[in-house]
């Protein structure tokens, strides 16, 4: 029998990259992940290892010093990394959303300035849409950028920035009225600003404060922060793509990449939960035999494995669609929705298989149990995915006449 979550049709290069990443995950991530997570410690050595492997440049075009790989290769690497520790996949997610947005929408000068250093991991990206009063409803953004000579002055408060402290380049979505008269639709008056900053906390540049890490139930190690702009001055050439009013579309394009990433993370965490469950079930004895020999437990394993396979297939399909140059919001929404729901269910089943030991911090499943819920929320909740899926279905299946 072949192992779960195999992908047909990969090139030799893709297979080599994946086997290198899997080896790195098994040797450098899995043995230390739970300890670091319990201490909420940033995985500095792991990040250095990822840099050496060239993973920060995986999807950045070769002309800018990256590996120029596809979204599929990236998603399969994310799946492997999340199998080791979901937080590490979060560290590269926002980096790639920003690199992708620069590649697709940046001016030549912006690409030349940032992409080569992003490929090396010297510049690390974060992206910021959410605010304290909104996450799903992006059109309600109140942070504002106002033109002042050759600069924009930014004011407002942002929330939930993954890598907010460790990043040095943040793509920040603000409202910008300039050129967009009163009454313009909200999504047509938003602009993405490329905000450079020092890594760290406190006032990281004049007018920009990163207050500190938000204390979370899981997804620890990676820093999640607020961002406060108080008269932050940004040169006009740091408007992404050089034109205001395009920010909403640029961010939504980036989020499609992020949704594939979250789906891949769900696949990776579910795979690890399955591995832990199937292993434990063959070791633990009750009523004179390993619990794996009780049919109820075998049924659980069967359900878990089927969910791992289904989620993987949908995630691969969504990545391949985007790689083909086609719109993939339907496929990415479906993959993100299904993979995150299945991940939660597979983790819960693996937890139940562990009996009381699943509740002990000595067992890895305890960490996975606290990590899985984040995937239900990040890059758009299940309800938001269903809204996107539903709208697209009605477009495709519109009644004629
Ligand atoms: C750990 C973590 C990291 C994050 N990282 C980032 C990041 O890097 N950058 C960033 O910009 N954001 C980030 N986010 C924010 C994340 O994208 C939002 O939390 C998410 O989009 C949900 O928004 P909200 O929390 O404001 O919930 P709300 O929008 O307030 O939603 C609350 C509930 O209402 C439901 N709901 C909302 N509207 C509708 C509707 N129309 N119909 C039906 N149900 C609805 C939602 O599904 C949810 O169940 C992060 C969040 C977390 C927890």
**3-state per-residue secondary structure call for 42-108:** CCHHHHHHHHHHCHHHCCCCHHHCCCCCCHHHHHHHHHHHHHHCHHHHHHHHHHHHHHHHHHHHCCH
pLDDT digits (tens, 9 = 90+) for 45-90: 999 999 999 999 999 999 999 999 999 999 999 999 999 999 999 9
Q: From the candidates 178, 226, 379, 396, which is the catalytic residue?
A: 379
Q: Residue 285: is its pLDDT beyond 90?
A: yes
pLDDT of residue 300: 98
The C-alpha atoms of residue 233 and residue 321 are separated, in whole angstroms, by 39
Ligand 1: residue whose CA is nearest its atom 23: 135
Nearest-atom index, ligand 1, CA of 162: 8
Helix (H, G, I), strand (E, B) or coil at 350: helix
Confidence band for 327, pLDDT divided at 50, 70 and 90: confident
Residues 6+ apart with CB under 8 A from 81: 21, 25, 29, 88, 89, 92, 268
Cα of 135 vs centre of ligand 1, distance in Å, is 4
* Ligand 1, residues at Cβ distance < 6 Å: 94, 127-130, 134-137, 160-162, 216, 219, 224, 374, 377-378, 380-381, 383-384
Q: Look at residue 1 in the predicted model and tell me its pLDDT.
A: 47
Q: Which atom of ligand 1 is nearest to the CA of 133?
A: 26
pLDDT digit string (tens) for 95-134? 999 999 999 999 999 999 999 999 999 999 999 999 999 9
**Cα 18 to ligand 1 centroid, rounded to whole Å:** 32
Is the full-model pTM beyond 0.95? Answer: yes
* Residue 182 known to be catalytic: no
Q: Which residue's CA is minimally distant from atom 14 of ligand 1?
A: 160
Centroid of ligand 1 to alpha carbon of 231 (angstroms): 27
**Distance in angstroms (rounded) separating the CA atoms of residues 84 and 24:** 9
Instruction: Determine the atom of ligand 1 nearest the C-alpha atom of 134.
Output: 26
Question: Does the structure show a pLDDT above 90 at 382?
Answer: yes
Sign, CA dihedral 356-361-365-370, equals positive
Structure confidence at residue 311 (pLDDT): 98
Pocket test for ligand 1, best of 90, 378, 386 (most atoms within 8 A of CB): 378
Instruction: Scan for tokens 């990443």, then name that residue.
Output: 21
Which tens digit of pLDDT belongs to each residue from 197-234?
A: 999 999 999 999 999 999 999 999 999 999 999 999 99
Q: How far is the CA of 130 from the centre of ligand 1 (A)?
A: 8
Give residue 183's pLDDT band: very low, low, confident or very high (50, 70, 90): confident
Question: What's the CA gap between 152 and 178, in Å, rounded?
Answer: 10
- 130-152 pLDDT, tens digit per residue, is 999 999 999 999 999 999 999 99
CA of 67 to the centre of ligand 1 (A): 32
């Amino acid at each position: 029998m072949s192992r779960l979550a195999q992908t047909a049709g990969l090139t030799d290069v893709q297979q080599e990259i994946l086997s290198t990443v899997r080896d790195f995950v098994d040797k450098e991530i899995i043995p230390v992940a739970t300890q670091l997570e319990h201490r909420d410690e940033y995985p500095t050595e792991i990040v250095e290892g990822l840099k050496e492997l060239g993973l920060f440049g995986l999807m950045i075009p070769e002309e800018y010093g990256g590996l120029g790989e596809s979204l599929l290769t990236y998603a399969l690497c994310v799946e492997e990394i999340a199998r080791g520790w979901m937080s590490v996949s979060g560290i590269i997610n926002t980096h790639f959303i920003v690199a992708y947005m620069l590649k697709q929408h940046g001016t030549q000068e912006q690409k030349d300035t940032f992409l080569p250093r992003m490929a090396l991991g010297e510049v690390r990206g974060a992206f910021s849409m959410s605010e304290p009063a909104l996450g799903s409803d992006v059109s309600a953004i109140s942070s504002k950028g106002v033109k002042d000579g050759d600069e924009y002055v930014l004011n407002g408060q942002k929330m939930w920035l993954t890598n907010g402290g460790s990043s040095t380049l943040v793509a920040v979505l603000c409202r910008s009225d300039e050129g967009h008269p009163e009454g313009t639709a909200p999504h047509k008056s938003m602009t993405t600003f490329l905000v450079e900053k020092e890594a760290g906390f406190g006032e990281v540049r004049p007018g920009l404060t990163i207050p500190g890490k938000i204390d979370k139930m899981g997804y620890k190690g990676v820093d999640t922060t607020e961002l406060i702009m108080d008269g932050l001055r940004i040169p006009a050439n740091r408007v992404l793509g050089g034109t205001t009013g395009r920010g909403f579309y640029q961010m939504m394009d980036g989020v499609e990449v992020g949704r594939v990433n979250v789906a891949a993370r769900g696949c990776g965490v579910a795979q690890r939960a399955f591995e832990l469950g199937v292993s434990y079930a063959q070791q633990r004895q009750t009523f004179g035999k390993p619990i794996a020999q009780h049919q109820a437990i075998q049924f659980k394993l069967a359900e878990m494995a089927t969910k791992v396979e289904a989620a993987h297939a949908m995630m691969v399909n969504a990545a391949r669609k985007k790689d083909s140059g086609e719109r993939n919001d339907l496929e990415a929404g479906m993959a993100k929705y299904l993979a995150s729901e299945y991940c939660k269910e597979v983790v819960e089943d693996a937890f139940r298989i562990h009996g009381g030991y699943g509740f002990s911090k000595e067992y890895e499943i305890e960490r996975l149990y606290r990590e899985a819920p984040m995937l239900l929320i990040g890059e758009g909740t299940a309800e938001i995915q269903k809204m996107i899926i539903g709208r697209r279905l009605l477009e495709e299946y519109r009644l004629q006449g």
